[in-house]
Amino acid sequence: MKSSVQSVFLSTLMLWLAFCLLLVTSACSQEQKEKVQDAAAGILPGKDLTTGPQPHVDTVYVEKYMAAKPAFKNEIEWGKKFYKERDGRLGWFKNHQLVPQTERMLTELSKAGENGLDPKKYKVVDFEQLFAQIKKAPDTTARNALEKEIDVALSATYFNWADDFYRGIVDPREVKNIDWKVKRNKIKLHKALMTILQERESTYPYYEFAPLHPEYDRLRKALAGYRAMQRNGGWLPVPAVKKALRPGDSSAVVPALRRRLLGFNPDGTPSPAVANAPMQAVPVSNKPGQPAATAPRESHQYDAELADAVKAFQQQTGLKADGRLTPETVTLLNVPLQRRIDQIIVNMERWRWIPKRFEPNYLLVNIPDYHMWVYENGKPALDMRVIVGKTLNATPVFSDKMEYVVVAPYWNVPYSIIDKELRNKLAADPHGTLDRLDMEVVKGSGAKATPVDPTSIDWANLTPNTWRYTLRRRPGPKNDLGDVKFLFPNSQDIYLHDTPHDELFSQAKRGFSHGCVRVEKPLVLAEYLLRNKPGWDMSKIQQTVAEGKEQYVTLPEKLPVYLVYFTAWVDDAGNLHFRDDIYGHDKALAQEYFST
């Protein structure tokens, strides 16, 4: 009697699960539904082969199976960890039946293209064939063998996809020409799979097969819109302009400009704005002696609506947003649609490299955007413009922790600048050059530094091995670091600092430094960072600057710093932004990403 009740219960449960499977697939194509139904038919009760203990797998079996398929070789360790942690129990079968997450995973893999991934890469195993085989299994032994194979195949397939989706297709640590030293995403894929199978809880959205960062998801939606735009014909080039077009001007360029900026909705569908474009009457040719005739044509008037669209485009591409159609604006308008799609995809890849979540409080500089934010409890507390390194002195991409604010700092001149810019001047006139530049040569550092006679140094024959001193500029108005610098000690000697050249912050493109990051409002940043440091309010900071005596102030708590490189993102208002690939990092990443 008990056995009969259990049998009825299991049959009812399996039918209910099958019904849920079909509901989940309601948004899929009819073809996908039929495949799921066929697979479900093979795993529902109806044979007496689904009784008895469920088979187990050991790590030897897992390694042998995954090693036999090249696509799975990099995921072997994840497979071994997964089954070892569960003592060999199958993950995708419960009481000899496939769990509902099977269909969910296979559906997600079929949509990999939405994430800029190649769905073909994850079709290593023919699951339809395996499901058909298990349906026709002649005995329990054969069925158990197929259960083991299917289970490991599903796990390996998940790891193959999840490694790309959560950790990235390209490993920046292994590619020399990709500059990315931000701390690594340390996601444990076997734990993620256990979350999907509802065997553990997690604060991360693994169960939903969702990305870890909302910024990634915004880019994914933007990618869908741009691909839809491509399917609907894309955009055509805007003719070049010799001089800037101002609102109110008339030009033959206007119709093409209108189609480019107003021709599509955000979702990539054609916009009625172009179909309903303003018309104007223009003369048409007539026979001699006949009165002039007119015919309608698309207006050439650069009106306010179009000027606003140009202004928005300029703002979203890092140009001066004045609404003037300049040659530079036209150049960016004519960036090919496919290149923008690729740009979105490589920036999605960078989000896979970012740690699973940022700390509550941190500082972030987006180098191509020339901008910095300070976050407190996950929300922006400060933001300001920055100046970054020139192309030849690129600001490196890395993360660290800020430890000190240095008020009234000395500027220690790098040897590279001594060698390239100052050597000859110092050799010709040591004292005069130092006095003019408000510099000094010292031995040692800090309070223990002692002056060195510059005439005792052979400047003409100086080498890195013979240079044993420090050339530094004194605190004051000539100091390249301005009134304050912010240190996060690192091997590349990169830091944030003030600058005496405030006029440079008015430029749209601000790549002027030797690699360090100059901040627009240094005293505001210093006051904020020292807000919990007793005795260090704005008055104290300004007093120390006026005295001109360098002082190191240790932060009450180290602040994580991220110097990152994103050339495409979607802001909180839903606007897609692009920036120039100022260091060529997009190009280097694209070569790796699209060749895998």
* Active site amino acids: 497, 516
What are the structure tokens assigned to 229, written together? 């735009």
Quick check: 247 and 308 in contact, CB under 8 A? Answer: no
Quick check: 293 and 283 in contact, CB under 8 A? Answer: yes
What are the structure tokens assigned to 446, written together? 């800090």
Least Cα distance to 576 among 313, 380, 367 occurs for 313
Q: What is the rounded CA–CA span in Å between residue 511 and residue 500?
A: 16
Least Cα distance to 515 among 355, 429, 397, 423 occurs for 397
Least Cα distance to 48 among 96, 100, 106, 110 occurs for 96
Q: What is the rounded CA–CA span in Å between residue 24 and residue 33?
A: 10
Q: Where are the alpha helices (DSSP H) in 76-126?
A: 76-85, 101-110
**Amino acid in position 115:** N
Phi, psi of 347 (to 5 degrees): -75, -30
Phi, psi of 387 (to 5 degrees): -115, 135
Instruction: Tell me the β-bridge partners of 298.
Output: 279
Phi, psi of 161 (to 5 degrees): -75, -50
**Amino acid in position 187:** I
Q: What is the rounded CA–CA span in Å between residue 196 and residue 157?
A: 14
How far, CA to CA in Å, does 398 sit from each of 191, 375, 488, 542?
27, 18, 11, 31
Q: What is the rounded CA–CA span in Å between residue 305 and residue 247?
A: 9
What are the structure tokens assigned to 204, written together? 């991360």
Phi, psi of 203 (to 5 degrees): -85, -5
What contacts 253, CB < 8 A, 6 or more positions away? 238, 239, 241, 245, 325
